[in-house]
Amino acid sequence: MMTTGEEIFWKNAHGVLRDIGMSHLDPAHGAAVDVVRWCLLVRGRPTHHLQTFLEIESPALLAYLERLATSGDAAGWRTLFQRIRHYAELLHETDMQPCARPWLAAIWHCLPELVGIGQTIIDEQTEPESVAAFELAPDVVPAGDDKGGDSDKGSAGKAGSAGTTAKPRPSARLVLPVVSVMLTDAERKMFERKAAESGDKEGPETDPDVTVGTDGPSGMKGGPK
């Protein structure tokens, strides 16, 4: 059973799709637009049911919005505004999608770029990459394309065996095209600074009498001297 806040959230999602003339889409699209609109308005990260929705339907979009909120740099939010305004102007000039809320329609058209940047942020957290990696299109597998067999198995083909675990599938509800994204100078500086701050953090304190070894073939680490 949904809470009052969740009911309002999904009611707003349906309203967004109606206002941009795309009621045929899954309500998840309207919800994603409304989350971006709200975060830009308050310049903060999604919380409560907004966060829960993105955790399930679009972890990449959540990663992007959280990075903006934690960067401490207003330039990131201004860049998001400029990205949306670019699409708003394009829609106005071409009269491609006349609707009651063209700004919300512009946010919807901007979603693939935000998800693309967010996916690279997720990849960056698991495997260090250069800032140039943000310019590459994210490696997204279409929903339902499961040629590798059971999705619960790793690359070795057996559940629990050694191997590379497949990335989570994209949401079947929030289906977006894969696009190449070019970062602005402000975004580059923001992400570079965030990466530098992460690299400056000191590691956990260790006992000086204990030598921390590397993982051997058996997975065991070096013990006390």
Q: Among 41-45, 186-190, 192-196, 220-224, which is the least confidently predicted range? A: 220-224
State the angle between helix axes of 27-42 and 74-94 in degrees (0 to 180), rounded to the nearest 10.
130
Written as one string, the DSSP assignment of 14-74 is HHHHHHTT-TTS-HHHHHHHHHHHHHHHHTS---HHHHHHHHHH-HHHHHHHHHHHHH--H
pLDDT tens string 56-90: 999 999 999 999 999 878 888 999 999 999 999 99
pLDDT at residue 213 in the model: 34
Token output for 168 = 């989570």
pLDDT tens string 193-209: 666 666 554 443 433 33
